[in-house]
Amino acid sequence: MKQRTGVKALVRRGGQTLLLRRAHGRASIMGQFEIPGGKIGYGEQPEDALRRYLEKDTGMRATTVQLFDVFSYIDADDRNTQYVYIVYLVNVEDATVSLSGRYDKAIWQSRSKIQHRDITESSKLLLGISEQKVVTDEEGDETIVIDDKKATEYQYILYSDGGSRGNPGHSAAAYIIESPEGEIVERGGRYLGITTSAQAEYHGLLLGLERALELGIKKVEYRLDSMMVVNQMKGIYTIKNRELWPINERIVDLLTEFEDVQFTHVRREFNTLADGEVNRILDEQQQKRETTEPPSEEF
């Protein structure tokens, strides 16, 4: 199998990501949006290649470049080639876009509003929207399967998070519910007292499910940044911590009241709203403690 290495730029502005629509290329990608980037030239440094593509295709100059991720991708149109992409988070001087001939349109789009049918498979993988699996049949032939997490299949998207300052320490849990259009329809959370971060994560999950049912939502895609919780909910990992058993039993009971719940792991930067709610609750509780606790006596 051949291997090619490329770079991709995650250019962000106000919670939105820059996507470019291909004006040229093979049929499977032409007319679809993708993350800016391209192949690394012979002897070229990845960061130099990134800056070259960004300036050539968008007219923007990068002010800061930070390594974000490295992932591999097998194109369904060319299964003998494995692409390895080095992904960078990029800040730019000016967000004004001037397109090259490779692209005919640029959009700034939040992740939850991206139309899945209009984005390339490699960019879906990069953004965590889909997962690629290589399945080998009995005859040894490989099949590329794109497991697309389409938001339209799940009427609402649910995020939650939990945090503990001290672990165990003062803890809180929170959730965010988004409509299929990406609008926030509900947010909430709770101070939990002294507990562990793992318990706080599960309380966030529980609170989100309870509120979704109260709103009559029966089909959701649940996105969490805790790989442990996602794998435990999928049955990949067992729950060995006895303190989590009662919370897990309540969650399992609630899941029977839904038509469908899809659990998806996302990177932490895609769960900032729920994380922000957790920190807001903890900050408020800390302020209350500071104003109600009597001053220490000096001897």
Distance CA 236, CA 250 (A): 19
Q: Are 71 and 35 in contact (CB under 8 A)?
A: no
| Position 45, amino acid | Q
CATH number (domain holding residue 134): 3.90.79.10
Least confident of 13-22, 143-152, 288-297: 143-152
What are the b/e assignments for 121-148, b being 16+ CB within 10 Å?
bbbbbbbbbbebeeeeeeeeeeeeeeee
108 and 138, same structural domain? yes
Is residue 282 assigned to a domain? Answer: yes
pLDDT digits (tens, 9 = 90+) for 92-127: 888 899 999 999 999 998 766 676 668 888 888 777
Last residue of a domain, one of 88, 114, 148: 148
Q: Are 288 and 280 in contact (CB under 8 A)?
A: no
78 and 47, same structural domain? yes
Check residues 68 and 197 and name the one with the higher pLDDT. 197
Can you give the pLDDT at residue 150? Answer: 46
Check residues 295 and 17 and name the one with the higher pLDDT. 17
| Position 170, amino acid | H
249 and 185, same structural domain? yes
The full 3-state SS of the chain, as one line of letters, equals CEEEEEEEEEEEECCEEEEEEECCCCCCCCCCEECCEEECCCCCCHHHHHHHHHHHHHCCCEEEEEEEEEEEEECCCCCCEEEEEEEEEEEECCCCCCCCCCEEEEEEECHHHCCHHHECHHHHHHHCCEEEEEEECCCCCEEEEEEECCHHHCCEEEEEEEEEECCCEEEEEEEEEECCCCCEEEEEEEEEEEECHHHHHHHHHHHHHHHHHHCCCCEEEEEECCHHHHHHHCCCCCCCCHHHHHHHHHHHHHHCCCCEEEEEECCHHHCHHHHHHHHHHHHHHHHHHHHHCCCCCCC
Can you give the pLDDT at residue 112? Answer: 63
Domain that holds residue 106: 2-148
185 and 279, same structural domain? yes
CATH number (domain holding residue 268): 3.30.420.10
105 and 35, same structural domain? yes
Is residue 297 assigned to a domain? Answer: no
280 and 190, same structural domain? yes
pTM beyond 0.95:
no
Report, in angstroms and rounded to the nearest whole number, the Rg of the chain calculated over CA atoms: 22
Is residue 84 assigned to a domain? Answer: yes
Model confidence at 2, in pLDDT bands (50, 70, 90)? Answer: confident
Can you give the pLDDT at residue 142? Answer: 47
Can you give the pLDDT at residue 296? Answer: 57
pLDDT digits (tens, 9 = 90+) for 27-71: 778 888 999 999 999 889 999 999 999 999 999 999 999 888 887
pLDDT at 285 over 70: yes
182 and 129, same structural domain? no
Q: Which of 270, 262, 205 is nearest to 239 (CA)?
A: 205
Model confidence at 262, in pLDDT bands (50, 70, 90)? Answer: confident
Q: Which residues contact 260 (CB under 8 A, 6 or more apart)?
A: 154, 218, 219, 220
Least confident of 78-92, 135-149, 223-237, 244-258: 135-149
Is residue 55 assigned to a domain? Answer: yes
Model confidence at 297, in pLDDT bands (50, 70, 90)? Answer: low
pLDDT digits (tens, 9 = 90+) for 144-193: 344 444 444 457 899 999 999 998 999 999 999 998 777 899 999 999 99
158 and 142, same structural domain? no
255 and 171, same structural domain? yes
124 and 94, same structural domain? yes
Last residue of a domain, one of 114, 148, 182: 148
Can you give the pLDDT at residue 231? Answer: 86
pLDDT digits (tens, 9 = 90+) for 213-248: 999 999 998 999 998 898 899 887 888 888 999 999
Can you give the pLDDT at residue 153? Answer: 47
Is residue 35 assigned to a domain? Answer: yes
Number of domains in the chain: 2
64 and 162, same structural domain? no
Is residue 178 assigned to a domain? Answer: yes
Is residue 298 assigned to a domain? Answer: no
Residue owning tokens 């509780």: 285
135 and 11, same structural domain? yes
Last residue of a domain, one of 148, 182, 207: 148
pLDDT at 91 over 70: yes
